[in-house]
Amino acid sequence: MSLKCVLQATLEEHYGRPEAESVAEVKRVYNELNLKKISNAHMNETRDDIYKMIQQMSGLGDVGLNQEFFFKLMENMNNAPIS
């Protein structure tokens, strides 16, 4: 059985279960796959794309909004930790 299949089976068996053993197994897979680094990189790329889109938005003043409103929203989302 490939490592991918083993990890998938482990997640299917343990994800969402409250027992300490299951939590530990899911964390082990998370760490083994280095998902924190991968998810942080993806979040940074996505955030950069969103900031660029905000900067390119026009006509916001016509509806009573401005770029600063959207930048503040992004700042608030950036402060929400991902564990």
User: For 17-28, what is the mean pLDDT?
Assistant: 96
Q: How far apart are the first and last CA of the chain?
A: 30
Answer yes or no: is pLDDT of 61 > 80.
Answer: no
How far is 29 from 5, CA to CA, in rounded Å?
12
Locus of tokens 């924190």 = 36
> Is it the case that residue 54 has pLDDT exceeding 70?
yes
pTM of this structure: 0.54
